[in-house]
Amino acid sequence: MSIRRVVAIINQKGGVGKTTTTANLGAALARSGLRVCLVDLDPQAHLSLHFGIRPAEDDATIYDLLLDEHAVVEDIAIKLEEGLDLIPAETDLAAAETDLGGLPDKQNRLRSALAASDNRWDVVLIDCPPSLGILTINALSAATEVFVPMQAHFLALQGVGKLLETVGLVCGSVNPSLRVTGIVLCMHESQTTLAREVVEDLKAFLEGCREQPVPWSRCRVLTPPVRRNIKLAEAPSFGQSILAYDAGSHGATDYLALAESVTQLWRTPVSEVEVKGDASAPEGADSVG
């Protein structure tokens, strides 16, 4: 089975749940039977640290995959759980912004590396840095679609508009087929008036784009939202996904349900996708498990 989906998980604002979503949505998708690879493309290496991975000096990482055209992705990927692999990062990845500058096809290095291993994974999730540099461009070049994690705050809503414009520019230059398909609401508190208003504004904005020739015309608010949950913050301290750390927590429940929603969306032909009526947060979404 070849790669079906390469998803860039991106937001230019930090602290919105990007790495948490990459780690736990990936683990949930793997639990559903898919073969999943997580790619840590952030120089902070938070995704690798989330799973307790600290590459030694001699260990190959995503840096080698980007800079060495002879590097083999299978040799770098680390098995985390059944069906879940990780291509780790280290802080040296920060130098990649400079080191890639003089290389040919510098924007497509990740795409080429993944294409050479298209029989290993069903889904690749890429944790992108919170900036628009050559690393993020590589992610957007390799991706088939984009998920945007965000909090239901007013300023975050404004930032999503800017992010969509950026993705549009990338589509026009390096990846014309790229589409923004989902917004993931993180640390969600449905009982607040602000959260409800922001979600409604977001849905109205997306609905207004349905007939426009933009890469986010089919974007929807993915369901369910991920509730604010202290267990999600605790899990990285133990080097585990939320499913391994506390399978009974709201965080685990939400990411399992989100994975089910995502796979159902992927199985639905584009012509049959109903983009209206995105589900809002469930009752009690402010609960802490």
What's the pLDDT band for 1 if we cut at 50, 70, 90? very low
Across residues 59-68, what is the average pLDDT?
A: 92
Q: How big, in percent rounded to 5, are the helix, strand and coil portions of the chain?
A: 45, 15, 45
Q: What is the pLDDT of residue 254?
A: 96
By percentage, how much of the chain surpasses pLDDT 90? Answer: 55
Q: Considering the entire predicted model, what is its pTM?
A: 0.90
Tens of pLDDT, residue by residue over 150-209, are 988 777 777 788 888 888 888 878 899 999 999 999 988 877 888 888 888 889 889 988
**How far apart are the C-alpha atoms of 230 and 204, rounded to whole Å?**
31
- Which residue(s) pair with 84 in the sheet? 36, 81
**How far apart are the C-alpha atoms of 162 and 91, rounded to whole Å?**
28
Q: What is the pLDDT of residue 40?
A: 97
Q: What is the pLDDT of residue 247?
A: 96
Q: What is the pLDDT of residue 78?
A: 96
The encoded tokens of residue 49 equal 């640290």
Mean pLDDT score across all residues of the chain? 87
Pairing of strands 36-40, 123-127: parallel
Q: What is the dihedral of CA 190, 229, 127, 273, to 10 degrees?
A: -40
Is the distance from CB of 126 to CB of 96 less than 8 angstroms? no
Q: What is the pLDDT of residue 3?
A: 60
Is the distance from CB of 47 to CB of 19 less than 8 angstroms? yes
Distances (CA, A) of 187 to 27, 68, 85, 116, 118: 18, 38, 25, 36, 34
Q: What DSSP designation does 47 have? A: H
Q: How far does Cα 104 stand from its chain's mean position?
A: 27
Is the distance from CB of 221 to CB of 278 less than 8 angstroms? yes
Domain 5-272 of CATH type 3.10.20.30: no
Lowest mean pLDDT segment, chosen from 45-49, 97-101, 111-115: 97-101
Comparing 133 with 275, the larger pLDDT belongs to: 133
Pairing of strands 78-81, 84-87: antiparallel
Across residues 45-70, what is the average pLDDT?
A: 92
Residue 225 burial by CB count (10 A; 0-12/13-18/19+): exposed, middle or buried?
buried
Across residues 99-111, what is the average pLDDT?
A: 88
Nearest residue to 281 via CA among 230, 204, 235, 224: 224
Q: What is the pLDDT of residue 283?
A: 37
Across residues 123-142, what is the average pLDDT?
A: 92
**How far apart are the C-alpha atoms of 99 and 210, rounded to whole Å?**
40
Q: What is the pLDDT of residue 279?
A: 41
Question: CA angle, 258 as apex, 284 and 132 as ends, to 5°?
Answer: 110
Tens of pLDDT, residue by residue over 209-237, are 888 999 999 999 999 999 999 999 999 99
Q: What is the pLDDT of residue 268?
A: 80
Residue 119 CB neighbours (<10 A): 9
Tens of pLDDT, residue by residue over 237-288, are 999 999 999 999 999 999 999 999 999 989 887 655 554 444 433 333 333 3
Sheet-wide strand order for 220-221: 78-81, 84-87, 36-40, 123-127, 5-9, 145-150, 179-185, 220-221
